[in-house]
Amino acid sequence: MRGSKMVGCAIVVALAATACGGSGGDSESKGSSGGGFSMNIAEPKRLVPQSTTESGGSQVLSGLFTPLVDFDAKNQPVLAAAESIESPDNKVWTVKLKDATWHDGKPVTAKDYVGAWNWGAYGPNAADGNYFFGTIQGYDEMNPVDPDGEEGPKKAEEPKAKELSGLKVIDDKTFEITLKAPFAGYKSVLGYTVFYPMPESALTDLKAYEEAPIGQGPFQMDGKWNHDKFVKVKAYPDYKLGEKPKVDSVEFRIFQDQNTAYNDLLANNLDIVDQIPTEVMGTAPGELGDRFKTSQASTFQFVAFPTYDKKYSDARVRKAISMAIDRDEIIKVVFQDSQSSARSFVSPVVGGYREDTCGEACKFDPAAAKKLLAEAGGIEGNKINIGHNADGGHEQWINATCDQLKKNLGLDCVSQAVPKFAELLTQVENKKFSGMFRMGWIMDYPSMENYLGPLYSTGGSSNYYGYSNKDFDRLLQEGREAKTEAEAIQKWQAAEDILAKDMPVIPLRFGKNVFGHSTNVKNVEMNLFNQVELTKVEKS
Amino acid sequence: MGRYVARRLLQMLPVIIGTTFLVFALVTAMGGDPVQNLYGERPVPESIRVALTAQYHLDDPLPIRYGYYLAGLVQGDFGTSLSGSRPISEMIADAWPETLRIAGIAFVFEMIIGVAAGVMAGMRRGKFLDNLVLLSTLTVIAVPIFVLGQVSQIFLGVKAGIFPVSGTNEGFVSYLLPGLVLGSVSLAYIARLARASVAENLRMDYVRTAKAKGLSPSRITGIHVLRNSLIPVVTYLGADLGTLMGGAIVTERIFNIPGVGYNLFKAIQIEDGPALVGFVTLLVIVYVVMALVVDLLYAVLDPRIRYA
């Protein structure tokens, strides 16, 4: 029996070891440590600028890097890392850089920008931000498509080029971008995460680089990215590209669940929560007092009509459905005022936004809605459905919307859940989904064009419902090629007016940043990209 | 004994191959689109889809993909995760110790308190203590774990400040509350199991004989009754340790412990086949080993059971 005794002992030892093995207290317990603060993020997918499009990674990188342009209070681009961004014809853009150094002391050069962008644009690298480079000349040569579709036996061919022909290094501090087509608002595009540079050394071993990215921004890494736990950064002493941070350090704590982060905020263990969970929206203003904050965000939620579904082919039917929805009530009851009603086709955060462009069609008027539907001859089968992805938490508001439609139009309305958004899109693309479906959009750069193009132009990247209008496309393109911003906006507004007539989608809600902070910090602001402005935060 | 152990370990191989293949097949059968899942609601550029599909063999038939996976596994390579493209072995190495810590605390807690409460209740059937144990265990079993977790987090963490609210950065203390919450349900089962078992054994003939021989009551219960009563409890504990080590999705989420449960949840969410299979393989190994350990412990408790 000696053997079995030993087994018993081994178990006891193992248990003791695991239960007593603390993690060695590798971080401060309190939210504020010395001159720093902490905030919550979700585990970043990657920390490579060209491959970071989700909020957790972007938030960290916004501290480590300075973009070429930033945005002022009116969401107009202002130069940040760039000395100047000029173009005679809006097609060839010359970018001059300010003097700056990487966190390891080496100077930032034009090569660092061009190299990083080329890496991002090269298809086989599968960078998440790849499509942002699609407007630059030479992108297509780097991103061949599968000749016979995904299902076919033929493999996609090798890319013909490894570098964007539209990117040229002029000298150490200057490079040139040639676009496929003129675009007056291109300066605004360059404010996004994927246009950050990377030091040349990064490209030789990206895996090693992203564990502790070297940037040229106000903060530098403090230690390595501790996966699923935290990322720490500290102020970079030689920062010259803009405002220096008012704190010594920031700890990005990785949370799985917003509710937990919120509880940590209540206990003053965490300084900033960038999103108050909907569950506590009712109690949070009371619990946080003036530390409960909201600001305008770029999110746009709407319901789309697939053009292949004949049920909704009459614009009067689409307008009637829109008029029968009481947006304000849903926002109050379901969202506890954490969003605002949408009655336009572009978000209020972009230049050229006008209130109520949707006009009558977005005003809640059940009587008129009923009349209009009757004029259009009602709806086939007297039954409609609204599709959504079950993992997105949309059930509640869709049910509320359905209840309103039942009550106000006398229709039968069903919410149809598909497990995941990807599946919903696949069904729509294969014309298998019948009915309306929900959609959401977050902008990439603050311009009307970034709503109009992807969402409503023929073949737009997120135009899954197949809306197509030649006049709209023409006006959109004319706006892109306009000489001045003012002229561009005029064209785009004319394009938006077409949408109000056609009603390809029902605008429902614009998002807000709803955030909160502890008693340790003040001046907490969030920008359009749903990010906390790290350099503005002060200790209180 | 040694041969028995070796045989049991060899039996693990087909079990592991079978389960990993099953998980692989199930993930494939979900028929989702992992590439789109990675992108959330953003459009996926065609060229990226092509690159990722080639990289992870997403368009190959199931047996071939599984072959790729096994070939890697034999070389000690668990593959890379779809999200963030981290090596899965690294993810396991990070997550596993976290789960072990809360599992260890939960296990010790349920073992000591559960067995003690059960034995005491069994000895004093129908008395106040017995009723107290029955009532409290019933309550714990009836309350869902996410309620228990959130309520204890808000009251003991946020309001009273006795425990850290979440996270793992205060060493041992950070794991205490999640461990206790995680162990509470099993503790209730163990207490009830031990109570029934002790009560049954106290009525046995050998206890009457021992009393008649004049053995002291403490020796009768402490040695004879306890040892015989613990066999079902040990079985339950062993199985439970396997479950505990499998990570606790709900508890880890509430207390923000980046353990196995968290990784499983993430992998299921984005249909990350490689990561899912990697973690499940680990769970299978844990279960099989725990079952073996429990079987060996029987021999310690009851000499009549031999593995010759």
In chain A the domains, ranked by start, together with CATH numbers, are: 296-510 (3.10.105.10)
Identify the closest residue of chain A to B151 by CA–CA distance: A263
- Please report the residues numbered 67 through 126 in chain A whose beta carbons come closer than 8 angstroms to any beta carbon of chain B: 123-126
CB contact under 8 A, B296 and A4: yes
Contacts of B55 in chain A (CB under 8 A): 126
* Nearest in space to A421 (alpha carbons), one of A394, A445, A447, A396: A394
Q: Phi/psi class of residue B44: alpha, beta or left (left: φ > 0; alpha: ψ in -120 to 50)?
A: beta
In this predicted structure, what is the pLDDT of residue A151? 52
pLDDT for position A407: 93
Q: Residue B175: name the closest of A322, A24, A340, A497 by CA.
A: A24
> In angstroms, what separates the C-alpha of A80 from chain B's closest C-alpha?
27
- Rounded CA-CA distance B169/A26 in Å is 6
- Asked if the Cβ–Cβ distance from A143 to B55 is below 8 Å, we say no
Q: Hey, of B30, B39, B41, B269, which one would you mutate to test binding to chain A, going by the most A CBs within 10 A of its CB?
A: B41
Q: Which residues in A lie closer than 8 A to residue B108 (C-beta atoms)?
A: 15, 19
Please say whether the beta carbons of A121 and A139 come within 8 A: yes
Neighboring chain B residues of A156 at a CB cutoff of 8 Å: 47, 50
- What residues of chain B lie within 8 A of the CB of A23, using their CB? 168-169, 171, 174
User: What pLDDT does residue B302 have?
Assistant: 75
Give the three-class secondary structure for A133: helix
- B37 → closest Cβ in A46, A54, A420: A420
Q: Which of B29, B30, B41, B269 is nearest to A437 (CA)?
A: B41
pLDDT, residue A25, reads: 36
Q: How far is CA A29 from CA A20, A184, A257, B42, B253, in A?
A: 19, 49, 19, 37, 19
Q: Pick the closest to residue A284 from A251, A323, A258, A308 (CA basis).
A: A258
Q: Which residues of A touch B107 (CB under 8 A)?
A: 15, 19
State which residue of chain A sits closest to B172, comparing Cα positions.
Answer: A22
**Chain A residues 310-369 with a CB less than 8 Å from chain B:** none
Is residue A51 within 8 Å of residue A122, measured between CB atoms?
A: no
Is A429 an 8 Å CB contact of chain B? Answer: no
Residues A192-245 pLDDT 10s: 999 999 999 999 999 899 999 999 999 999 999 999 999 999 999 999 999 899
Residue pairs spanning A and B at CB distance below 8 A: 188
Per-residue model confidence (pLDDT) at position A14:
40
Rounded average pLDDT per 10-residue block, chain A, 540 residues:
39 39 37 74 92 91 96 89 94 96 95 96 88 92 71 66 94 96 91 94 92 96 94 95 93 93 94 91 92 93 92 92 95 90 94 92 94 90 91 89 94 90 84 90 90 92 91 94 89 95 95 94 91 93
Nearest Cα to Cα of residue A539 among A272, A239, A254, A242: A272
SS3 B210: helix
pTM of the model: 0.86
Angle, CA of A142, A113 and A239, to the nearest 5°: 155
Do A266 and B158 lie within an 8 Å CB cutoff? yes
A238 DSSP assignment: T
The mean pLDDT value of chain B amounts to 86
**For B54-58, what is the mean pLDDT?**
79
What would the pLDDT profile of B207-265 be if each residue is shown by its tens digit? 999 999 999 988 888 888 888 888 889 888 888 888 888 778 899 999 999 999 989 98
Contacts of B296 in chain A (CB under 8 A): 3-4, 7
Task: Mark yes or no for CB contact A256/B252 under 8 Å.
Answer: yes
Model pLDDT, residue B62: 82
A389 → chain B, closest CA residue: B41
| A408 Cα to chain B: minimum distance (Å) | 31
Are the beta carbons of B103 and A18 separated by less than 8 Å?
yes
CATH number corresponding to B99-257? 1.10.3720.10
Check B32 against A419: CB less than 8 A apart.
yes
Strand ranges inside A276-318, DSSP E: 292-304
Chain B residues in contact with A251 by the CB 8 A cut-off are none
A459 touches chain B (CB under 8 A): no
Stretch among A439-448, B16-25, B95-104 having the lowest mean pLDDT: B16-25
User: Considering only CB atoms, which chain B residues are within 8 Å of A44?
Assistant: 84
Rounded-to-integer distance, Cα B7 and Cα A39, Å: 52
Bigger pLDDT: A14 vs B180: B180
Distance from CA of B127 to the nearest CA of A (A): 34
Quickly tell me which residue has 């501290």 as its tokens. Answer: A63
Touching B: A residues 34-73, CB under 8 Å: 43-46, 53-54
Residue A124 Cα distances to A159, A286, B5, B53, angstroms: 8, 51, 49, 10
In angstroms, rounded to a whole number, what is the distance separating the alpha carbons of residues A439 and A418?
Answer: 13
CA distance B74 to B71: 5
Closest by Cβ to B253, choosing from A7, A257, A266: A257
List, in sequence order, every residue forming a beta bridge with A41; answer none if it has no partner: A254
Are residues A126 and B52, on separate chains, in Cβ contact within 8 Å?
Answer: yes
Query: What is the C-alpha to C-alpha distance for residues A107 and A115, in angstroms, rounded to an integer?
Result: 15
CB contact under 8 A, B253 and A260: yes
Q: Nearest by CB to A4, which of B153, B171, B300? A: B300
pLDDT band at B274 (very low <50, low <70, confident <90, very high): confident
Cβ distance A56 to A43 under 8 Å? yes
State the span(s) of chain B assigned CATH 1.10.3720.10: 99-257
Contact (CB<8Å) B36/A454: no
